[in-house]
Amino acid sequence: MKNRVFRWGCLLMLLLSPLSIARAQQPLPRIAVCIYNMADTFMSGFSNGLERMAQGLATLTVMDSQNNQNTQNAQVDELLAEGIDALIVNPVDRTAAVYLIRMAMQKQTPIVFINREPLLEDLRLFNKAYYVGIDPKQQGSLSGEKAAWYFQNVPGADRNGDGVMQLVLFKGEPGHQDTELRTQYALLALKQCNVQVELLSEDVALWDRTLGQEHMAALLNQYGDQIECVISNNDDMALGAIDALKAADYFSGRKFMPVFGNDATGLAMEALEQGSLYATVYNNAEAQGAAALRLAVLLSKGEEVTEENFSYSMQDRVVYINSVIFTADDMKH
């Protein structure tokens, strides 16, 4: 009995020691998140998820750069002056990331980039600069491979029987690595799958649903039923294309158009269930957010990032989260 009381007394003294009390009272790391544009469906959902994940781990400050790099530069400058512990930044312009990296270096503040990948030579300037995202090459390949499968296996996919896919491709923001690489690798995958493609239009719709609808309506006026497939760099543009296709009596009766998106947003998953969107690549926002937040917390505490405390594979301080593709058939199971 005396030994038990002694052990409990020692434990109580340990718990109440100044060091233990200091640890218990240690404030959460202050992490600032700068989003390029909260009007973007994916990035808005990403930031909301990040705020939920941060509860109990960090205190977050979220800022909207409103698609203006000068605004974002000023925001980062202000946050660094306030002594923020770490930054998570979705850059407006990936080539401008070098300026943000140099600003963070001056304060030795860790900076984790998301969604828009800085140039590797810029990332290497600062040993506390990281990138977390999805590999756009893999995303493009998944879209192209699935589109090739559809064209080669679904009766009537080659409407005119010429053995050539008449394709419309919707691109996001010019210069964005996701735009260029999703496009390039979708077309490369079609070629590798032995699908000959006639690219009727490579249309820039800036990630926007309204522009996707307007441009698809114009393309239908120009090409009509010649179009056999639509591949889009993101879901919003794909859903806009579907809006225009529905207005032209597609998805009713036997008139169908395979439309491929990217991101697997909530609205896109609904369209999959309804059968209007054929497939979308899952842009795993939750995993990206968890990895970015984990990195920011570790770095803010001055801890080394190791295999033991960081469970994501990484090369050159770049973390890629694997992608998968969902089809309408997947939603039936």
Q: pLDDT per position in the chain (333 positions), as tens? A: 444 433 434 433 433 444 333 344 568 999 999 999 998 888 888 888 898 999 999 999 999 999 999 999 999 999 999 999 999 999 999 899 999 999 999 999 999 999 889 999 999 999 999 999 999 999 999 999 999 999 999 999 999 999 999 999 999 999 888 999 999 999 999 999 999 999 999 999 999 999 999 999 999 999 999 999 999 999 999 999 999 999 999 998 889 999 999 999 999 999 999 999 999 999 888 899 999 999 999 999 999 998 889 989 899 999 999 999 999 888 776
Is 5 exposed, middle or buried, given 0-12, 13-18 or 19+ CB atoms closer than 10 A?
A: exposed
Please give the Cα distance from 330 to 216 (Å, whole number). 26
Tokens for 296, please give them. 């920011």
Angle at 3 between CA 2 and CA 8, to 5 degrees: 100
Query: Which pairs from 51-56 meet CB under 8 Å and 24+ separation?
Result: 53/286, 53/289, 53/290, 53/293, 54/293, 56/28
> Which element (helix H / strand E) includes 215?
helix 209-223
User: Are 53 and 293 spatial neighbours (Cβ–Cβ below 8 Å)?
Assistant: yes
Which residues make Cβ contacts (< 8 Å) with residue 267, sequence separation at least 6?
41, 235, 239
Q: What is the pTM of this model?
A: 0.79
Confidence at residue 11, expressed as pLDDT on a 0 to 100 scale: 39
Tokens for 159, please give them. 């409407």
Q: Which domains does the chain have, with CATH numbers?
A: 26-135+284-322 (3.40.50.2300), 137-283+328-332 (3.40.50.2300)
